Homo-oligomer: A and B are copies of this chain.
Amino acid sequence: MTPTITAFASSPDRGAGLSRDMRVRWAFEEVGQSYNVRLVTFQQMKEPAHLALQPFGQIPTYEDGDLALFETGSILLHIAETHPGLLPDDADARARAITWMFAAVGTVEPPILELQTAKFAEGQESWREQRMPLVLDRIRVRLAELARRLGESEWLDGAFSAADIMMVHVLLRVKPSGLLDEFANLAAYCARAQARPAYQRAFAAQLAVATGG
Interface of A toward B, CB cutoff 8 Å: 51, 55-58, 66-75, 77-78, 92, 95-96, 98-99, 101-103, 105-107, 109-110, 113-114, 117, 121-122, 125-127, 130-131, 134, 138, 142, 145-146, 148-149
Contacts and interface: CB of A to CB of B under 8 A. Distances in A.
Contacts of A113: 110
Contacts of A98: 74, 77-78
Contact of A105 (B55, B56, B102, B130): B102
A145 to B, nearest CB: 5
A123 to B, nearest CB: 12
B109 A106 contact: yes
Contact of A142 (B56, B102, B142): B56
Contacts of A102: 71-74, 102, 105
A205 to B, nearest CB: 23
Contacts of A73: 102, 106
Given A105-B106, A146-B55, A95 B74 contact: yes
Copies in the complex: 2
A144 B146 CA distance: 34
A69 B103 CA distance: 11
A69 B134 contact: no
A44 to B, nearest CB: 16
Q: Which 3 A-B pairs have the closest CB atoms?
A: A127-B127, A105-B106, A71-B102
Nearest to A99: B74
Contact of A95 (B67, B99, B131, B148): B67
A87 B207 CA distance: 38
A126 B134 CA distance: 13
Nearest to A103: B71
A83 to B, nearest CB: 14
7 contacts: A56-B142, A102-B102, A105-B106, A110-B110, A110-B114, A121-B138, A122-B131
